[in-house]
Amino acid sequence: MGKILKLIGQRLAIGLLVLWIVSLIIFAGLEFLPGDLAQEILGQSATPESLAAFRKELGLDQPMHTRYLGWLGDVLQGDFGKSLANQREISELIGIRFANTMFLAFLAAIISVPIALALGILAALYRNSLYDRLVNIMTLSSISFPEFFIAYILIYLFSVKLGLFPSLANVSADTPLWERIYTCLLPALTLTLVVVAHMMRMTRASIINLLASPYIEMAKLKGLKKARVILYHALPNALAPIINVVAINLAYLIVGVVIVEVVFVYPGLGQLIVDSVQKRDMPVVQACSLIFAATYVLLNLTADILSIITNPRILYPK
């Protein structure tokens, strides 16, 4: 238990260091964007006096390191500032949008993870069979297409031709749960087709690698059925790499949904960051980028911990 706690502490320290480096990159990257932020917001007709007053109001007249330290100090206190576009609190804007993104990612995970595990286990069970080849072709084909292409194909088939689902995932806080699920089903299916191949192939590869192990051979010699050998002997020992790839894909479902949200006009964090970039609303862009980075780091930390719990041998490397 002590080693696990020590490892968690090390991972947390590394995660905080990564987040600090990411915050530096985000702030510096936005700082060096071409153009004058005050000029972009006030327009070309703004007078030099109004531009100077506005820069002072935003703190743009201060050195970059001073503004960074001030911004970082506010973020550590949970204050992301106000949006330049509508003067609303950024934490309020992000709270609603982040909840929508998490709902979409959770719905896609509920669909994709069981399907990927089932396909991977069956592919390992019937290795090199026609089923195995067909599943690999289908999943590799789905992952080879970009997300927007899959989204438009699904919209054309299920919205335009069949009329089963809406083409726009327009939801609000007052939308009932079942209506929200129905509205979000097409974007969730798009994300499922994108991520299921990674998880399926890792499940298949992990189980196949273990099938040559001595204890698996012993289980076979005892006369156990192949399905029982895979489910009760191979799968539990293959969980560590499977958990890692599932966590990475869950991180993608949260931080990589920008294109899908834009295509379906879904009011999530991805749509918010795109709108903010178009409006040059830099405080919102900084806050969204930092939350995406924190989510990715947290999910990777969770994957490390779960991998160690399911495979304690990781604590004792040779």
pLDDT level of residue 36 (50, 70, 90 thresholds): low
Give the max Cα distance, the chain: 87
Strand partners, 89: 82
Q: What is the pLDDT of residue 38?
A: 63
How is the chain split into domains, by residue range? 15-76, 97-315
Residue 135 has pLDDT above 80, yes or no: yes
pLDDT level of residue 231 (50, 70, 90 thresholds): confident
d(CA 61, CA 37): 12
Q: Distance of CA 150 to CAs 157, 186, 199, 262, Å?
A: 11, 10, 18, 13
Residue 82: phi and psi, rounded to 5, are -115, 150
Q: What is the pLDDT of residue 267?
A: 86
Residue 14 has pLDDT above 60, yes or no: yes
Residue 316 has pLDDT above 70, yes or no: no
pLDDT, tens digit (0-9, with 9 covering 90-100), for 263-315 = 888 888 888 888 887 777 778 888 888 888 888 888 888 877 777 776 666 55
Residue scoring higher pLDDT (235 or 167):
167
Residue 276 class from Cβ within 10 Å (0-12 exposed, 13-18 middle, 19+ buried)?
A: buried
Residue 318 has pLDDT above 60, yes or no: no
Cα 248–253–259 angle (5° rounding)?
130
Share of the chain above pLDDT 90, in %: 0
Share of the chain above pLDDT 70, in %: 87
pLDDT, tens digit (0-9, with 9 covering 90-100), for 144-186 = 888 888 888 888 888 888 888 888 888 877 788 888 888 888 8
Residue 89: phi and psi, rounded to 5, are -65, 130
Cα 313–315–316 angle (5° rounding)?
70
Residue 74 has pLDDT above 70, yes or no: yes
Structure-token pair, residue 207? 């189980």
Residue 234 has pLDDT above 60, yes or no: yes
pLDDT, tens digit (0-9, with 9 covering 90-100), for 200-218 = 887 888 777 777 777 777 7
Q: Give the CA dihedral 279, 91, 257, 161, nearest 10 degrees.
A: -80
Q: What is the pLDDT of residue 76?
A: 81
Residue 255 has pLDDT above 60, yes or no: yes
Has this prediction a pTM greater than 0.85? no
Across 9-15, average pLDDT: 81
Q: What is the pLDDT of residue 184?
A: 87
d(CA 178, CA 164): 15
pLDDT, tens digit (0-9, with 9 covering 90-100), for 107-118 = 888 888 888 888
pLDDT level of residue 44 (50, 70, 90 thresholds): low
Residue scoring higher pLDDT (93 or 1):
93
- Tokens 């592919």, residue? 123
Question: Do residues 267 and 252 touch, judged by C-beta distance below 8 A?
Answer: no
CATH architecture of 97-315: Orthogonal Bundle (1.10)
Structure-token pair, residue 62? 């201060």
What is the identity of the amino acid at 258?
Answer: V
Residue 123 has pLDDT above 80, yes or no: yes
Across 41-60, average pLDDT: 68
